[in-house]
């Protein structure tokens, strides 16, 4: 436990603002069992920081009153909690069975190749994160598909996958130009 604590940063201070700390304390007061407040508290921390660095997970654990190991266990379990910074555009490629049967893995590889990253990673400019979904996105009848932020792109062919790559890379170029 001490090793986990030292890897995750000290218990003094932390990256969370006083507003988020207060929101976490309020969440703790709301639940009869403190541990129940852990997940909403991690989400509050992520809402502020956009991801959960180890020091933030440790701070949340301290505020909620659970062990750092318990907080870390939860933070690493849920795919909606992110331990690393994510891109401005999140591309989720569905590779569950119906999509896989219709070329989901091929689609993932094409996007990975076009963006120059592996699935599960973010482009070096921090613009695009490419992920494989751990669950069906509910558009099996239009497989294979990907979700680009909140927008579904369905019935993707090798040609439309290349168009999507071009669109994503154009977006990166224009953001770099504007910088």
Report phi then psi at 91, rounded to 5. -110, 115
Q: How far apart are CB 96 and ligand FES at their closest, in Å?
A: 4
Which parts of this chain interact with ligand FES (CB under 6 A)?
Answer: 94, 96, 98-99, 136-140, 143, 145
- Rounded to a whole number of angstroms, the minimum distance from the CB of residue 142 to ligand FES is 8
Measured from the CB atom, the residue of 153 and 172 that comes closer to ligand FES is 153
Give whichever of 27 and 95 is closer to ligand FES, judged by the CB atom. 95
- 97-102 — which CB contacts under 8 Å span 24+ positions? 98/136, 98/140, 98/143, 99/136, 99/140, 99/143, 99/144, 99/145, 101/143, 102/143, 102/144
Of the two residues 3 and 135, which places its CB atom closer to ligand FES in the complex? 135
Q: How far is the CB of 161 from ligand FES (least distance, A)?
A: 15
Nearer to ligand FES, 35 or 106 (CB): 106
Least distance (Å) between residue 136 CB and ligand FES? 3
Token duo for residue 111:
């996007």
Q: How far is the CB of 133 from ligand FES (least distance, A)?
A: 7
State how far the Cα of 20 lies from the Cα of 147, in Å rounded to an integer. Answer: 30
Phi/psi at 93 (5° precision): -100, 125
Nearer to ligand FES, 4 or 136 (CB): 136
The span from the CA of 169 to the CA of 179, in Å, is: 15
């Amino acid at each position: 436990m001490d090793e986990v604590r030292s890897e995750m940063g000290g218990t003094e201070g932390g990256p969370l603002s006083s507003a988020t700390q207060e929101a976490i304390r309020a969440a703790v007061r709301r639940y009869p069992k403190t541990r129940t407040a852990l997940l909403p508290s991690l989400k509050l921390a992520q809402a502020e920081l956009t991801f959960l660095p180890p020091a933030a997970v440790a701070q949340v654990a301290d505020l909620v009153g659970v062990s750092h190991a318990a907080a870390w266990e939860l933070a690493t379990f849920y795919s909606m909690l992110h331990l690393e910074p994510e891109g401005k555009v999140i591309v989720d490629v569905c590779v569950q069975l119906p999509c896989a049967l219709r070329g989901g893995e091929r689609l993932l590889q094409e996007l990975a190749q076009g963006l120059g990253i592996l699935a599960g990673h973010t482009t070096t400019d921090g613009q695009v994160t490419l992920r494989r979904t751990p669950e069906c996105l509910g558009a099996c009848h239009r497989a294979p598909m990907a979700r680009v932020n909140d927008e579904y792109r369905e019935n993707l062919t090798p040609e439309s996958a290349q168009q999507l790559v071009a669109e994503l890379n154009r977006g990166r170029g224009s953001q770099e130009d504007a910088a």
